[in-house]
Structures are given as structure tokens and as C-alpha cells.
Structure 1
Amino acid sequence: MPDTPRIVLHNNDTAPLARWLRAAYPQAGFRECNSYEALPALIESYRPEIVYSVRFAGTPGFPRDALFGPYSPRWIANGGAGTDHYGQWDPQKTIVTNAAGVAAGMMAEYILGGFLHFTLDIPGLQKDKAARVWNARKVRPLAGKSLLIVGLGHTGQAVSARAKAFGMKVLGTRARPEPMEHVDEVHASDDLHDLLPRADFIAVSTPLIPATRGLIGKDEIAAMKPGVIFADVSRGGVVDQSALYDALKTRHVAAAALDVFETEPLPEISPLWALENVIISPHCSSVYADWEQASFELFIQNLGRWMRGERLVNIVNPARGY
């Protein structure tokens, strides 16, 4: 393993990444790339062993083929948690790591914030304030209510810890069920349909892989308890957006906080924009003030392992997507 691997930093703003890399490893040779279009030529000419990459302009046009083509780097460090934009790859040829866990706490706060937005009737309070009306509204507690977390990974576990602090009963699903702290019941993913009617709140935080595409479809939404409050921070494609819209319009699903969509940016013609019982955010639940530095610090730690010939952390299994 070379002492000074060739690295490409791929993001829309690589200046801070370059600064952090120089501070940690002055001997590392690297190039910077600030667009999707320029990456293929740079990989072919520079032949990097490592690429640190952030999906900064959405999935359409992302230079996936260059990353896994004939000049593929040995290690791709994905700056975010999701790797669905990579499709499938040969893990014997290319190691892919992700930054799972870096934004878990922030995403959990987004989910709980969405729940509180509706249980405290913030929209109604804002309307009354605008109208200068003193109207005593009833608020609803989270304590004693049941929360179903679909996907007990880093984010799901961060949600469960915060939900228990509110006094909620926490149910959750994961591919390999085992007892977990802050979760009252851990179930297999195949048990999802049976759990849906039990939940007052549902948080979806599973990665998008073939097994989870369309996981929350029309039948699953129909099985939910009437009046459930829903939050989705997974990936567009896990939830059937059309079926969810229908359920929100009829109030079978009382309200939803949605950070991910089947098409991003969400088209202006989407009927979701017009629903008062929906929070729409532009896939930013994981974006906080220092997230890029936290993600890159994880890369720096992994780079040290790489240079010492040690196993990297957060290696993604392409069959599982995490």
C-alpha cells in the first residue's frame, strides 16, 4: 500500500476538503473536481487510488460509470450515508465506504421535530397568531404513544433514543433482528405489515435497495392506523408517493414530514405542495452546520487506516446497500 495515495476530492466546493486533507496528511497527493462532467476525464488521466465523493447535484448525471469503469479507484469514500446512486459494484474490485452515523442525530431531530410540529398544532397556532385570535387549542403528548421505526440503522437508533426520552413505546424493524437499547420490540423486516396498525407514529429511515423499493406501498399505507403521523428520511422510492398523497388527502394519514421524494427536486406540479398537513424539505434533514467536516473527519480517520493497511470502517455491502 503506497504511503502517499493519489486522491480525488469530488464535491461542488472542495476548498475546505483540501484544507483539511493538507492539515492531516501533507504528503498525500490529490486533485480537486467540482463538477459531475469533469470527473471521468480526471479519473482517466490521474488514475486515483481513492475518490472522496459527495452527490451534490442529485442522482441524474452522477458520474457513476467513471467511478466503476476501467480506471476505477480502489476505494470510493462516499461523503453521505446513502449509496443507491452507485447501483451495484464488485466489492472485490472496489471498496465503498459511507458516512453513516455522521448525521444520525440531526435526522432524528428532524423526525421528532416533524412529529411535534403536528402534535403541538404549530400550523394552527401560526394561523391564530396571524389573525390575532386567542384560541385555546389542544395539544397532544408523545408520551404513551407507539412509534414504529422502519430501519433501525444509525438514524433509527438515534430516533429511538430520543423517542424514549419523550416516553414513547418504540417498535422497529431490521434485517437481522436482535435486542437493542431504547427499542421495546425489534422485529424482522418481514413483520412490517403486522406492525403498521399498531403505530401512532411511523419513521422511515431504511436505505433504498432492491428489497426496500416500494416497501411502503398502497397496501401498507392502508394497513396503518387511521390518524397516524408519518416521517420519511429514507430515499425516494421506498414509499409510494402517490399512495401516500391519497392517504394524506383523506387524512387516513393525518400528517407527514417528508424529506425525500421519488423525483428531486420535487416538481412544481406535484400535488404534495398544496397539502397543509405536509412538511416538505429539500432532502436536507442530514445537512447541518458542520456535517461536511464531520463526514470528512471520518474519511481522514479511514485514510489513516488505509495507509496503515488496516480494515476500513463503514464498508458498504452492495447487496445490502449499507
Structure 2
Amino acid sequence: MADTAPVHVTLGVLTFKRPEGIDKLLRVMRNQHRDPARPWRLSIVVVDNDAGGSSRDAVMAHADHPEYDLHYVIEPQQGIPIARNRAMDSAPATTELFCFLDDDEWPVDGWLDSMLRTRAATGADCVYGPIEPVFEGPVDDWLRRSKLYDRKRYREGEKLNFAASNNVMFDLARFRALDLRFDARMRFTGGSDYLFFNQAFRRGIRIHWSSEALVYDMFPVNRLTMKWQRQRQYRLGNTFAVATRIEGTNAEKAKQLARGVVRMGLGAAMSPAMLVSPYWGGRAMVHLLRGAGLTMGILGHAYQEYAPSKMKG
């Protein structure tokens, strides 16, 4: 049997003043397992969204390692969707599959092979995988028991109607043929990846879950508070609304507005549970704040979580 030609995979990573995080990710990526049945060669594109190039030294310290070809790019115009588009645009011309990870994440050693195995088994255009939080400090007992930091998991190969850019692989040529881009109108709101993959799904992209392609996500101490959780739940609801205002029909906008109002009512009704049950209290908070974010977003408010004034160096 003839040898299988290696598939060219490019990993895109955005970074902003996190040299320690990008250093760890690049070190971990040197340890990816290779299965002869699924050969690959890897390029990594790091997009520094700091015009001053604060992560240059941390990135270029890995330039001579043979496990991957490393490309460092500065995108001076701040904004997550702008930097994501720059990462895709900077992929080598022979790239077949493109991945995204964040600069505060690192994958297990079998991550890339698991992604490729799921793709081969399902015929997916896009493969999405699980995230497991790692906490930099102690987590308040109520918050830990609320399970607000937990991420839902699915069966291996399960078909999904969504994905996000924190652990994903997709067919770059297929996405380019559909002219899929991250929307700069969501420059500082977050959620441009939600809209990107929602548009992909609507245009026929097949998304499947890879249960063993695990990625760890570091939560710094400033994200281990009730205040951060409240802001994040509101922002998530607001993101769905902003995306609907960009892409949705009037009927879809009306439906989201109604959903937001209903979720706020449900959250308010469940709110006494916060006093007796962290889990059900957490569900009440999610309904109340995501509903509020959804309602306000449809009415025109876009919460700018990633505005430069809120970014931490």
C-alpha cells in the first residue's frame, strides 16, 4: 500500500501581552504524537496583536525547533476578529487544515492526531474539541460547586451546529471558497467566532466533536470571582444578540428578544435557589444574566468586553 502523504496543518494562535502563555503553548506543541496512519506536518502562525511586538522574543526562541515551521506576525490593529483573519491570511499556501488555539491554552500530546482521527471517521469539514479549566488560584466554594466553569462534552464524532476558536480544526480551502471571515463589527465584543462558525454551519459546513482532542485552559485569579462570572454570563448572552443583529432576519431578532425576556423571568423565579444550592443558583444566574445580555443586545447595546481600556497587560 502506498504511503499516505502528510497533510499540512497550520495552527493559528493570537497573543496579546502573554509571552509566558505563548511560550508554554509552543513548548507543548513540540510533543504532539504522530500516528503513521495519519501523517502530518505542522506550521504555526503566531499573530501578536500588540503593535509593540511584546511577545516577539518568547515566540522566536522556538524558531529553530524541527517539529514545526514557525511564523511570527504583528497585527497592529487591535481586535480579535481582525487578528484571527490575519492568522488565516498568513497561513502558508500549501495549508490544507487550519486550527485555532488561544495563548492561555495548551493541548494534550495526542490532540492533533485525535482531531485528524475524528475528521477521517466522520468526513467533517470542521472538528471541535473539549476544554478543561485549570485554575491559577483557589476558587470560591460556591463558584466551584455551581459548575459555572464546567464545559459541556459530547459523544465522539457527534454532529454539532456550532464551534468556537478555542479548540478547532477546519478545511481552510472549503472555508475560503465560502468566503467566511471573522466579522470586524464584533471587534471588541467577543463572540466573532460564534458568528463565524454559525455562518459556516448555515452554509453547509459539517461540524463534528472530537472527544479526545483535549485542551487545557488557564483561568487567572482575576477570572475566579463572582464579578467576572456575572460579566461573562451577560457578555455571552449579548454576543448571541449582536451576532443575530448582524446576520439574522427580523423574525430571528424577535425570537431572540422573546427568548431573552423569558430567560430573565426564569432566572428571577429561580433566584432564591442561590441561597440554598450553588448548582441551581448558578443556573438561575445564567438564565438571568444571559437573558439580560440577549435582551439588551437586540435592543442595541453591544458589551465591549475586549475594548483596549479593559484589556489587561
TM-score (structure 2 length as normaliser):
0.30
User: Which is bigger in relative contact order (C-alpha 8 A, separation at least 6)?
Assistant: 2
Structure 1 or 2, whichever has the larger Rg, is 1
TM-score (structure 1 length as normaliser):
0.29
- Comparing both structures, which one devotes a greater share of its residues to helix? 2
